[in-house]
Each structure stands twice: as structure tokens, then as C-alpha cells.
Amino acid sequence: MTTFGVRRRQLLLFMGILKLSVLVIFLLFYALLWQAGNLTDLPNLKIGFYNFCLWNEVSGSLHCFQSPELETLGVSRVGLGLARLGVYGALVLALFAPLPLLLAWCNRNKGEWQLAKGFLATATVLLASGVGLLLCCMWRWVQLSLLGPGFLALGLAQALLILLLMATATIPWAEKTHGRLESC
């Protein structure tokens, strides 16, 4: 295959990686900000990273529990805090990943590419652990059939982060030739 064909294929792969990065950021924003981190958002049940509301039969409305009340129900305050740290940390790292990806591509710098892969790997682990911790803390009240679009967006973001991490590992590196940047 000609050098032009190889470069074109690498560029198309890189553009796909950037598009996946933007999609992951969009999904995380949707789930964590637009849906307010709620995994279940029903008229009689609201469970998320900042909401825990159950239907109160006596008053006929949702009753939202705060931290001291959650502990009496058996929900760990530390577990909730770590779950929040995980998912929102994943959002922050996903926001930072495209810049080193772009800089690494333009500068043909493997160190910057490794930094971007580190951001993506850490975001992948943080997102999985944050969602997992929340589900472990709320296991008595959460059922698979009750999980809503926020959970679906987080699950899809997790799958795309794994795909993104695999894609970033497949791009072969070429050195700069004659001091010129050939791809930017």
C-alpha cells in the first residue's frame, strides 16, 4: 500500500477517534447534567447520584431522603461519595482527553498520545466503578427494568470509552519527516 493510502487510513481512524470522544462527552453530559445523574426517574421513584426519593403512601407524594436518613436506610455515605467522584471524575477526564489526542496527532508525539490514553483508561475505570458503587449502595431499590435513559447513556458511554481505548492503541506511530507536520 502506498504511503498516501496508509496516511489516509490513519487520518480516518484518528477522525473516528475524535468523533467517539465527542460522543462520549455528550453522553456523559446528558446523563450527569441533563438527567441530573438520575438512573431511575419515575413518578414514584427517583434514584441517582444526588437523589434518593421513594413514594410515601401516607402523604401520597415522593419523599426525598437526605444524608442522615439515608444512613438509617443502610445507604453508605462514603459509597455515595465515591460513586459521585467516579462518574463526575470520568466526565472531567473525558473532557480533557481530546486535546492531548489532537496535539499528539499534530506533533507526532507518542508521549502526548500516552497521556490521552491514560485519561481514557482512567475515565473508563472511574465510570465503571462509580456506576457500580451506586448500584451496590442502592441495590434494594433498583431493578433493571426501572433504569432509565440516564443509566442507558452511562452504559453506552462506558462501552464507547472501552472502544475508544482500543482504537487509540491501534494507531501506529510515524515520525515527523523533514521537520514538517504532515497531518495538521
Which of 55-64, 74-83, 85-94, 164-173: highest mean pLDDT? 85-94
Residue 172 has pLDDT above 70, yes or no: no
Residue 184 has pLDDT above 70, yes or no: no
Please provide the average confidence, as pLDDT, over all residues in the chain.
85
Supply the pLDDT for residue 94. 94
Contact of 38 with 48, CB cutoff 8 Å: yes
For the segment 2-12, the average pLDDT, to the nearest whole number, is 77
Residue 169 has pLDDT above 50, yes or no: yes
Which of 10-14, 63-67, 71-75, 162-166: highest mean pLDDT? 162-166
Neighbouring residues of 19: CB distance < 8 A, sequence distance ≥ 6:
none
> Which tens digit of pLDDT belongs to each residue from 15-52?
888 999 999 999 999 999 998 888 888 888 888 888 88
Q: The whole model's pTM is what?
A: 0.84
For the segment 139-159, the average pLDDT, to the nearest whole number, is 89
CA distance 43 to 180: 60
Supply the pLDDT for residue 83. 93
In the chain the first and final C-alpha atoms are separated, in Å, by 22
Q: What domains, with CATH codes, occur in the chain?
A: 7-170 (1.20.140.150)
Supply the pLDDT for residue 61. 83
30-35 long-range Cβ contacts below 8 angstroms, 24+ apart: 30/149, 30/150, 30/153, 31/149, 31/150, 31/151, 31/153, 31/154, 31/157, 32/87, 32/88, 32/91, 32/150, 32/154, 35/148, 35/149, 35/150, 35/153
